[in-house]
Amino acid sequence: MQTETIVQRFPKADDYLLEILLAVQNNNPEHYLPEKDLHYIAEYLGIPDSRVSGVVDFYTFFSTKPRGKYIIQVCDNVPCRIRHSQVVINTLEKMLGIHFHETTSDGLFTLEPTSCLGHCDESPVIRINDDVYTNLDSEKVTKIIQKYQAREEKK
Ligand code: FES
């Protein structure tokens, strides 16, 4: 769907900026917000481009660069760190051959840090697109990624 069509579903009010940005990013197959879309949104709402960019820069779930089909977000807050989220990060980096803010060469996985995912009592926690995985260790996260890889190989 065209960005313009999505944006025009919302009232022309500054209060809707966050919702519009989310809707536009979710519509993009590469899960990001191109510069031209940000400019269009600013124009539509009648606000400066800098205000839109400020919001995009503030929230870690927005990206201005193309991302993979599966966005793996690893909670980087203290409760998860205490419960060894670094082991999960190391496993993901080794399996996928990428670090935070990078995408695998096949365009499938992007690895990102994120703030609390709301499951601190079940840490460490990751989210892959809309799915949350808890109580992770190296073995569990390996199986999760293998499941996604197998799903893609079948296609
Ligand atoms: S601190 Fe990691 S889920 Fe809350």
Task: Concatenate the DSSP letters of all residues of 22-54 into one string.
Answer: HHHHHHSTT----HHHHHHHHHHHT--HHHHHH
70-154: CATH architecture: 3-Layer(aba) Sandwich (3.40)
* Cis-peptide into 124, omega within 30 deg: yes
**Which whole-number Å values give the CA distances from 84 to 14, 35, 58, 132, in the listed order?**
40, 37, 26, 17
- Percent of the chain scoring above 90 in pLDDT: 93
Ligand 1 centroid from CA 33, angstroms: 26
pLDDT tens by residue, the chain, 155 residues: 899 999 999 999 999 999 999 999 999 989 999 999 999 999 999 999 999 999 999 988 899 999 999 999 999 999 999 999 999 999 999 999 999 999 999 999 999 999 999 999 999 999 999 899 999 999 999 999 999 999 998 87
Nearest-atom index, ligand 1, CA of 124: 2
pTM for this structure? 0.83
Q: Quick: pLDDT tens for 108-144.
A: 999 999 999 999 999 999 999 989 999 999 999 999 9
- In this structure, what are the phi and psi dihedrals at residue 23, rounded to the nearest 5 degrees? -65, -40
Nearest-atom index, ligand 1, CA of 120: 4
| Total residue count of the chain as it appears in this document | 155
- What does the alpha-carbon distance between residue 71 and residue 108 come to, in Å, rounded to a whole number? 8
